[in-house]
Structure formats: C-alpha cells, structure tokens
Chains A and B, each alone.
Chain A
Amino acid sequence: MAIEVRIPTILRTYTAGAKSVEGSGATLGEVLGDLESRHHGLRDRLVDDAGLRRFVNVYLNDEDVRFLGGLETPVADGDTVTVLPAVAGGGS
C-alpha cells in the first residue's frame, strides 16, 4: 500500500529534493521505517528513543498524530502524511 509523505524544505536533503515520497506500512512507524531504507537519515530527524520528536509535527491527513496514536497510528492506502517542523522559540 502506498502512503504519500510530504517532506518540508529543511528535510529535502534526505529525499534528493523531492517534496513528497511514498512509503508503505500498516502504521506511521512502519512507514517511517520503510522510508529510512531509501532515504537514510530521515527517520532520525523525526523520531528519537521516546517516539516522535517534540518539535516535529506529523499529520495523518488532517489530524496531528499526537492526538491519534503517535507512531502506532494505523495508516491506509491513499493516506497522506505531512511533516512540518514546529515553529517555536522564545525569549529566555
């Protein structure tokens, strides 16, 4: 099954400049694992030992996967995963 994964500008060094790539798997975690086999290093920018990195937003279609099941979120053929780096910071 094919899941479209949209890649933000800052991570396109891992996808040879592609704005979106396709992956397969039954969960978000599996899709990211599948992508890693072709786009080495990408997974590390999205996931650490504790799960999804805090300052990366990952959406399944229109939902933030944090409010679904994180890496365990089930995905299906035709779904779109969007990755956006969080925009954050602050004065101290």
Chain B
Amino acid sequence: MSGNTIGGPETDGDAPSGAILSTEGLTKQFGPLTAIDDVSIEIPDGGITAIIGPNGAGKTTLFNTFTGKHAPTEGRIEFDGQRIGGVEPYEIVRRGIVRSFQITNFFSSLTALENVRLAAQARYTGFGPADFLTHHASHEEPIADAERVLERVGLDGVATETASSLAYGQRRHLEVAIALASEPRLLLMDEPTAGMSPEETNETVELIEDIASDTTVVIIEHDMDIVMDISDQIAVLNEGKLLTQGTPSEVQSDERVQEAYLRGGGHE
C-alpha cells in the first residue's frame, strides 16, 4: 500500500537501508520559535524506538511533522524511501504512518467498535457508488478487522459500549486500537502510559511489546523505567536538537543526556 505514489514525490535511492523513517536537517519554526532544529534521525525498521527529552524539547512537534500536521520549514523526511514532507495527513496514514494521541481523542458518542471500524473502513472506502448507497454494516471486512483489533487490545468485551462510558485505561487502549485499525507499518505513540495506574501501565507495556512484534513503534515516554525496559533505540531531544541516539545503555551513560535532564528540570 505504501508503494502507491499518488501525488507522491520521486523515490530517492539513497535512503539508508534498515531505516523505515529518516530525517535530514529537519527544522520546524513557529514564527521566531525554532521547535525542531536541524534534526537528522533514523528510525530503524522494526522494534521500539523511544524519543525522550525534557519538556519543550520538541518531541510532539517531531511527531507532528512525521504525521503531516506540520510541514517542515527546512530539511526532509523520508518514509520507506519516499519523501513525505508536506504530504497531507490522510495520505500519510494511507502510506503507513499512524499515531495515537496523548490525550484521549476519539469519537466519544460512538461505540468502541464503531470507533475502530471507522478507522478500518478508511482502508476499504472511497467515493464509488457503493460507498454512498450501501449500508455500512453490510461491509464485512472493516467490522472483522475492528473486532480483531479490539480483541488484541483486550476490549472485545466492551465493543458495543459507548466510547465515553469506558474506564480510563480502556479509553487509552481504544485510542491505540483506533491507530492499529489503520494497519500502520510505523506506529507513533505519544505518552501511551500517561496518567495510568501501575497495573494499567504494565498492561500497556505488554501491549506495546506485542504491537512491536509486527509493527515498528516509536514512543514518546517520560517514565525512564519503561523507556530503558522496552526500547531498542533511544533518541534524546533537547531544545529542539537531537542530542544523541543509541541503545539504552549507551544513552544512559552519556553525560550530555544527564546534564540536559538536570538543566531541563528533569522529567515528570
């Protein structure tokens, strides 16, 4: 699916092998503020990469440039060998980059199943006659996909409940389920364990590891125990710049990282 080139720029042959997503000199400015400053990063294909850094380091902005919410001011982003800077968000989802949100951001008056089905439907629907004239429930594939995803995140028991009536932990799982229903090749998760109890956090960590078995995962996470535990790669951002990137043990022993965290007031 990511091979389609509708409106897409030419393929660049020089993408480093092994990286599913890479940026080169990526810069994003909001007026006088430089949120991301000349970041060149490589996200390896497969496994879990964590992006960490003090508040205001530019982590969420980096996600927003990956998903097409913000076009880069300078530099380039390549996904699977294709440039995606300036591509519309819905098109980026179709190519395989999907994000989940830090704050719960779904369709609160719809059922859990319908939330996920709607996301799954995007892969099947278009603007043909059948998309207007048939009943949505007569299309089996999106429903089957949605049911499978709900089971994977452990929400199959509450599929017909309204999303707004779910418990906090369930909502966060639904958030992930919606993203999974798009069948991403690269899943970006913004603070997936924020505000969770220890049990909920454990469940979520298990879920992330399960997802990582077949999908490349990038997480923004403040909990260092989780980061050190599950990440294969860690990228450290500070004041919009990439401080360093490496394995957990490399990053842990990096003095610049410790310094940045001390100056930045540490993590929450």
**Co-assembled chains A and B:** no
A residues touching B (Cβ–Cβ < 8 Å)? Answer: none
Q: List residues of B whose CB falls within 8 A of some A CB.
A: none
